[in-house]
Amino acid sequence: MAENTTPASNFILDMVKEDVRNLKYGGHVETRFPPEPNGYLHIGHAKAICLDFGIAREFGGVCHLRMDDTNPAKEDQEYVDAIKEDIHWLGYDWGDHFYYASDFFEQMYECAVELIRRGKAYVCSLTPEEWEEYRGNLYVAGKESPGRSLSIEENLDLFERMKRGEFGDGEKVLRARIDMASPNIHMRDPVIYRIRRVEHFRQGDRWCIYPMYDFAHPLEDALEKVTHSFCTLEFEIHRPLYDWVLQALEWQDPPEQTEFARLSLTYTVMSKRKLLQLVKEKHVNDWDDPRMPTICGLRRRGYTPESLRRFSEMVGITKFNAVTDMALLEYCVREDLNKNASRYLAVLDPVKVVIENYPEGKIEYLDAVNNPELPEAGSREVPFGRELYIDRADFMEEPPKGYFRLAPEREVRLRYGYFIKCTGVVKDADGQVTELRCTYDPETRGGSAPDGRKVKGTIHWVAAATAKCGEARLYDRLFTVPAPGTGDEDFLTQLNPDSLKKVPVMMEPALAALPAGTRVQFERVGYFVMDPDATAECPVFNRTVALKDSWARQQK
């Protein structure tokens, strides 16, 4: 269970606090997270999960997990399992309050019958096309369906026959009898049951009529004895109907729905349709591609549950349609990983360095601290030898002003190692640097000079003789613009072509031996996580997020 985080102040917290103080619902708080199992959870869901589970915990209640499976055409067990896994991974648990909306179909049916008995629902035989006309529109009131004048007995009979399967799909619907002139179109006799002969992934063909969300949801909440029902802003206009259903059935202590703004993030997309399109058209590898904003994608990218919870807390809960900067999410994972990730030496785009005055064949072991922020993480030994690799970016033949790293005749420190000075550059026919000749100062073992002289730069390195070669996947933002596809359909044209670069990486031995999922920092490069696909022969690391680099920023 996610520990201790007291939710940041927000209007929902205040409201619930007030309800508890007034002993509404006897002072109990029961919430629910009700995903439809038709896709994978994303970071936007994480925000809702943190709210739903967080509020329940704050007030000593339970948050239910409910699969809102009222539309058999779209749902599947695969998604149920993935959703459960992601919520647990985030650090939340629903105890024994796991439900399927479809387990309530019988009660919902009874409620619909009761509505008919009370004259508050009727069977409508209008076709969808006809209804378009009857419904009116935003500016024009609707007119009454002929079904409205049926007797209660006729409606009871028709609905019973709908259930028995006497009518074809779409031939009839059950409507709530509310107000055809309401300015809120959802109150113009909304459909509450439709006929749909599709096999339900759990109910099979037991039912051919299925309740609509607007009817089912308040009943699900009420039947589970939920007190506070949080959802996103687009359901705001449905709330009168939510309340109407429970009031029409004279439900005691009905739950109350409260809406908050869904999460929007820069440089990515959150809509299920667009995410699905990215997967289907192979712009990404799958739902768990590390570039995806899905929870499984972020997990694979190396994001921690803690960082996602912290992010949810920082974005807050409001009714304002905000767009949160991706930089905040990146900050949250850096904040966590900086404290907890061990540091290792790894070299991307390696260039060989030969230390001319170091004995051939000699290997010595140097002490390296695993995490300067966390002394209890201990230390390890790093092998050092005459031939090393350093990152190509750590050498410049003609260094510009302000460049602190290796250059001809310049001395730098090898982290945990020695001071070395570059004495020669070897190039191939194209002028590409293939090897650097250096000398080292034996007096500077461990990285400090007895004579007190300083160097400006410290670079990372690995010994060639013991280096393990693997692959580093450098993931970047999925889109090049803060708000992809605002013009809509064109969002794919704004995909970042550099969102994934695979480069060979030379690693110190201890790094290659880490178990999958371990999060580390490659010094001076970024935070990485070992990919689940990694093998002993080829360790694969995904870059979670780059280190801040003031030098790179300066250059721009």
Binding flag, residue 504, RNA (CB under 7 A): no
Check if the beta carbon of residue 172 is closer than 8 Å to that of residue 155: no
CA–CA separation, 236 vs 261, rounded Å? 10
Told to check if 459 binds RNA by CB under 7 A, we report yes
Whether the Cβ atoms of residue 404 and residue 456 lie closer than 8 Å to each other:
yes
Q: How far is the CB of 64 from RNA (least distance, A)?
A: 14
The correct pick among 53, 213, 440, 479 for binding RNA (CB under 7 A) is 213
| Listed residue (228, 226, 223, 247) closest to 18, CA to CA | 228
Q: Which amino acid is at 396?
A: M
- The answer to whether 427 contacts RNA (rule: CB under 7 A) is no
Spatial distance between the Cα atoms of 534 and 511, rounded to a whole number of angstroms: 13
Nearer to RNA, 4 or 554 (CB): 554
Give the span between the Cα atoms of 167 and 161, in whole angstroms: 7
Q: Show contacts with RNA in window 431-450 (CB under 7 A).
A: 446-448
Provide CB contacts within 8 A for 444, sequence distance 6+: 413, 418, 419, 450
Closest CB to RNA among residues 322, 538: 322
Three-class SS string for 411-448? EEEECCCCEEEEEEEEECCCCCEEEEEEEECHHHCCCC
Quick one: 57 or 172, whose CB is closer to RNA? Answer: 172
What's the closest the beta carbon of residue 444 comes to RNA, in angstroms? Answer: 7
Q: Pick from 15, 270, 314, 465: which binds RNA (CB under 7 A)?
A: 314
* 317 is a contact residue toward RNA (CB under 7 A): yes
334: contact with RNA by CB under 7 A: yes
Marked catalytic residue, from 30, 32, 36, 524 = 36
User: Among residue numbers 346 through 385, which ones bind RNA (CB under 7 A)?
Assistant: 371-373
Span near RNA by CB under 7 A; candidates 17-25, 92-100, 276-284, 333-341: 333-341
Residue with smaller CB distance to RNA, 137 or 535:
137
Identify the helix (H) or strand (E) that includes residue 89.
Answer: helix 77-90
Contact 528, 302 (CB under 8 A): yes
Q: Is 118 a catalytic residue?
A: no
In whole angstroms, give the CA distance from residue 476 to residue 485: 18
Which of 321, 398, 409, 489 lies at the binding interface for RNA (CB under 7 A)? 321
CA distances from 515 to 169, 375, 511, 535 (A): 53, 21, 9, 10
166 binds RNA (CB under 7 A): no
Which of 134/251 has CB closer to RNA?
A: 134
Using the minimum distance from each CB to RNA, give the nearer residue, 289 or 413. 413
Cα separation, 377 vs 339, whole angstroms: 11
Contact 53, 33 (CB under 8 A): yes
**Residue from 383, 371, 343, 331 nearest 523 by CA:** 343
Select the span of 67-75, 144-152, 348-356, 432-440 touching RNA (CB under 7 A): 67-75
User: Which one of the spans 277-285, 313-321, 346-354, 377-385 is the region binding RNA (CB under 7 A)?
Assistant: 313-321
Closer residue to RNA, CB minimum distance, 86 or 289: 86
User: Of these, 234, 253, 397, 533, which contacts RNA (CB under 7 A)?
Assistant: 234
Q: Quick check: 335 binds RNA (CB under 7 A)?
A: yes
Residue of the chain from 5, 203, 338, 518 that contacts RNA (CB under 7 A):
338
The structure tokens listed for 380 are: 């390890």
- The interface with RNA within residues 261-300 (CB under 7 A) comprises 261
Instruction: Using CB under 7 A, pick the residue from 318, 379, 434, 493 that binds RNA.
Output: 318
How does strand 461-463 pair with strand 387-391? antiparallel
The catalytic residue among 148, 262, 352, 437 is 262
Cα-flanking dihedrals φ and ψ of residue 400, to 5°?
-70, 165
Q: Is residue 290 classed as helix, strand or coil in its secondary structure?
A: coil
Site for RNA in 463-502 (CB under 7 A): none
- Answer for which of 145, 304, 521, 544 binds RNA (CB under 7 A) is 521
Q: Pairing mode, if any, of strands 191-195 and 209-211?
A: antiparallel
Residue 66 annotated among the catalytic residues of the structure: no
Binding mask 103-132 for RNA (x = CB under 7 A): -----------------------xxx--xx
Contacting RNA within 30-49 (CB under 7 A): 34, 36
Secondary structure tally for the chain: helices H, strands E: 14, 25
> 373 catalytic, yes or no?
no
- Under rule CB under 7 A, how many of the chain's residues touch RNA? 96
Active-site option among 17, 84, 196, 272: 272
In sequence order, what E strands does 121-189 have? Answer: 121-124, 173-176
- Quick note: the x/- pattern for RNA over 380-419, rule CB under 7 A, is ----------------------xxxx-------x-xx---
Catalytic residue numbers read 36, 262, 272
